[in-house]
């Protein structure tokens, strides 16, 4: 290596060091802190929204389901086989002891969602903040995602929909599922199911930012045992259960 070249490399190293030091200058920080965002700001990967559901507190009520369907304008057509279902109550019974537990099941907002992998048009996508959604403008209704989802979270809309809520557009020929109430979360509110559970139900559901070390949900997940449904699939779900 000739002396000039060695000199150049030295200058390069010095410049890189200066850039790293500048990172600590006022107004710049190495780690950006998660904070509430304004409507003009895009959802950021600094946050990951999730739910923690304590099954031991989940009783026989149906308040989360009612509140969800009320908030999102999901109405029954009187045909339960084809009605949309964003959230449902599941009862688990031990075959030997007959011990029964009930839990709400909805889109688990996976970090590696199979529904996104199989979507041929890119309609099924994951937002930066971890919320898995369907872009109904590009959804062709092929229903691959309905089959791919291990949680049975997605519904196909078979019939013309009327009386949609202003925040929740819904239409025939597309697939839909729990949006984690993205329209509410963007306003800084909590999902309708969590609100209903904490108001009328057993206070079994908690909503929060899994990445925010100061949040209640982060603290509980760190301190208490919790499980993912079908953890063997390594999808890293955003919805976690306790007491399962």
Decide: is 129 part of the binding site for another protein (CB under 8 A).
Answer: yes
Question: In angstroms, what is the minimal distance from the CB of 173 to another protein?
Answer: 9
Question: In angstroms, what is the minimal distance from the CB of 238 to another protein?
Answer: 15
Name which position in 161, 175, 178, 204 contacts another protein (CB under 8 A): 161
Name which position in 166, 222, 223, 232 contacts another protein (CB under 8 A): 166
* Complex with another protein: residue 40 or 98, whichever CB lies closer: 40
* Complex with another protein: residue 72 or 242, whichever CB lies closer: 72
* Complex with another protein: residue 104 or 191, whichever CB lies closer: 191
Decide: is 48 part of the binding site for another protein (CB under 8 A).
Answer: no
Decide: is 192 part of the binding site for another protein (CB under 8 A).
Answer: no
Contact letters for another protein, residues 18-47 (x by CB under 8 A): ---------------------xxxxx----
Cβ atoms of residues 205 and 55 within 8 Å = no
* Complex with another protein: residue 40 or 97, whichever CB lies closer: 40
Task: Quote the CA–CA distance of 129 and 119 in Å, as a whole number.
Answer: 20
Segment interacting with another protein (CB under 8 A) among 26-34, 62-70, 167-175, 200-208: 167-175
> What 3 state SS string does the chain have?
CCHHHHHHHHHHHHHHHHHHHHCCCCCCCCCCCCCCCCCCCCCCCCCCEEEEEEHHHCCCCCHHHHHHHHHCCCCCCCCCCCCCCCEEEEEEECCCCCCEEEEEEECCCCCCCHHHHHCCCCCEEECCCCCEEECCCCCCCCCHHHHHCCCCCCEECCCCCCCCECCECCCCCCEECCCCCHHHHCCCCCCHHHHHHHHCCCCCEEEEECCCCCCHHHHHHHHCCCECCCHHHCCCCCEEEECC
Name which position in 35, 93, 165, 219 contacts another protein (CB under 8 A): 165
Question: In angstroms, what is the minimal distance from the CB of 4 to another protein?
Answer: 47
Handedness of CA 27, 128, 103, 183 (dihedral sign): positive
Contact letters for another protein, residues 172-191 (x by CB under 8 A): x-x-------xx--x-----
Nearest to 170 by CA among 185, 183, 182, 159: 159
Name which position in 66, 164, 211, 236 contacts another protein (CB under 8 A): 164
**Residues contributing to the site for another protein (CB under 8 A):** 39-43, 125, 127-129, 133, 135-137, 160-161, 164-167, 169-172, 174, 182-183, 186
């Amino acid at each position: 290596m000739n002396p000039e070249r060695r000199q150049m490399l030295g200058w390069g190293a010095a410049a890189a060091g200066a850039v790293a030091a500048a990172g600590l200058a006022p107004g710049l920080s190495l780690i950006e802190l998660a904070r509430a965002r304004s409507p003009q700001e895009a959802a950021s990967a600094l946050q990951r929204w999730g739910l923690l559901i304590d099954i031991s507190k989940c009783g026989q009520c149906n308040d989360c389901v009612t509140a969800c369907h009320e908030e999102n304008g999901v109405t029954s057509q009187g045909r339960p086989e084809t009605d949309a279902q964003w959230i449902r109550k599941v009862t688990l019974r031990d075959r030997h002891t007959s011990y029964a537990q009930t839990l709400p099941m909805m889109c688990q907002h996976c970090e590696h969602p199979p529904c996104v992998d199989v979507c041929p048009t890119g309609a099924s996508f994951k937002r930066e903040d971890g919320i898995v959604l369907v872009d109904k403008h590009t959804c062709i209704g092929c229903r691959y995602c309905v089959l791919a989802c291990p949680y049975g979270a997605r519904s196909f809309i078979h019939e013309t929909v009327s009386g949609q809520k202003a925040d929740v557009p819904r239409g025939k020929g597309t697939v839909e599922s729990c949006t984690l109430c993205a329209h509410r979360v963007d306003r800084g509110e909590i999902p309708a199911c969590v609100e209903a559970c904490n108001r009328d139900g057993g206070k079994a559901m908690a909503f929060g930012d899994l990445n925010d070390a100061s949040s209640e949900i982060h603290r509980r997940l760190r301190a208490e045992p919790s499980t993912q449904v079908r953890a063997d699939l390594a999808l890293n779900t955003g919805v976690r259960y306790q007491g399962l």
